[in-house]
Structure 1
Amino acid sequence: MKSFSLVAVLAFATFAAAQTNGGPTFDPAGVKNVGNGAGGQFIGGQCLSDADCGSACCAGPSGICSGTGAQLQAGKTGCGFSSTGAAAAPAAAATTAAAATTAAAVNNAGAAVASTASAGGPPFDPSGAKNVGNGAGGQFIGGQCLSDADCGSACCAGPSGICSGPGAQLQAGKTGCGFSSSAAPAAAPVAAAATTAAAVAATAPADNAATGTAVAGTATAGGPAFDPSGAKNVGNGVGAQFIGGQCLSAADCGSGCCAGPSGICSGVGAQTQAGKTGCGFVSRRFISRRASQLLI
């Protein structure tokens, strides 16, 4: 009994020390996956190295499994965290209680933002209240969402609507991507994006100034319409294009996924949604330009 108590005290001390370093709070349901290097830890659970995480991204400063697209959000300092500490004990109940008592907020779209996932699943990160329901793809993993369009990962998981890494969409009580709330203003942003894209196609210069690459205003071969504000990132291969922007190859996309049939940067979990045909799209213009460079 004394030995068990000592182990518990040491484990709790490790957890407390890690949590005070900053970053989001750990999901206590993931305690069993900490430090075993089996890749079983879900996003939001504590980790001691990348090997613990299903996403292969253990983010600093405290060691929390993160989606790679969210590794620098909510106070995180990037993948690659490594600790020599012991496995952590369950999270302090005070953390969950604090989240549960956070007052309801209202974002700029007028959608009510709950402080906890009242229908089940993990609690929401209250710092993401400003990203709920606007369909702009700015919500980080762990923040509340009203539809997939809110999430940078393109995965709004049930039962309550929380942005999730696609690989963790069924973990910690979540019921999978595709959650949609009746409060979500889904139709308007899509229609607006299509209209804006068409307008830009009619008025924008034919070439991308940085690369000389023709940039289409819409996805003429099918799939979602391109976000015209990403025109400057097309074809330069520096990984600066955001999800929804046009791409000529995966090298353009911050997500590492250029999806067919027209070439649009996509979250990997959403690569076959909304008419997309999967990652790996490469434009003939990209191939032609590469061939020309080799001949110089």
Structure 2
Amino acid sequence: MTVASTAHPNHNPAPVTIEARRLDGKTIFITGASSGIGAAAARRFVAEGADVVVGARRIDRLESLVDELTSEGGNALAVHLDVTDEASVAKAVQDTVERFGRLDGAVNNAALSGAGAPIVDTDSDYVRQVFDVNLMGVYFSLKYEIPAMLATGGGSIVNVSSVGGIIGMPNISEYIASKWGVIGMTKSVALEYGGAGVRVNAIAPGSTKTDMYDAWLPTPEAQAKVAAYSPMNQIALPDDMARVALFLLSEESRWTNGTVIAADGGQHVGCF
């Protein structure tokens, strides 16, 4: 369907076309896809016409997800992926291109939660692991996704940060620092490759009902307390984040680059 434009006639705009499916013909690679936001993104993207490659360490879960997606008529591939291992990331991107011939978009979602302790009580080895997954994992992903996208004219990358990447929170300082790092990397790389056709943006989820969230807050009382940090007084669903990522991967966001969308129900505006 084509919608008439009301722009000034001297601008000579192209007709505005509303696509039935926003990711038709695109191949999207997702890290941390065995559950939560990553799995929800795979389902959402397939429904929008994409071929998807889902990567994570839990290959059994990925294979079940792929079976689900293909049974519904989608095209999907599961790849074993450890984002802390550069060779593993490189191979996953290579497998994506070999299977589907191109890479148009990526959601870099793999993450570990914080230790839940004041900084003086944290285990240094675990803190390094958080940085390896949350920050180095995004670095490795960008390093290999971008050349694959440049080979076919560009693409769009969504890095999953956190509301903790734009504010501070006590007792998870290593997680917060890693997610601030994701945003800094996002903005810098957007400057490096925007002119070549690769857009890089981030989303900053607030409290979202995932396995990680349930492990961090195992009781209904704890979850209710955290939900109250948002003026909406709710916990988001993983698909809420998938919908934001969908926008950033689609042509609807063609002029969005180097930005961070706080998908947190307003938590970051100061409701603690």
Q: TM-score higher than 0.5 here?
A: no
Structure 2 length-normalised TM = 0.23
Q: Which has the higher helix share?
A: 2
Give the structure, 1 or 2, with the largest relative contact order (CA under 8 Å, sep 6 or more).
2
Larger Rg: 1
Greater strand content: 2
TM-score by length of 1: 0.22
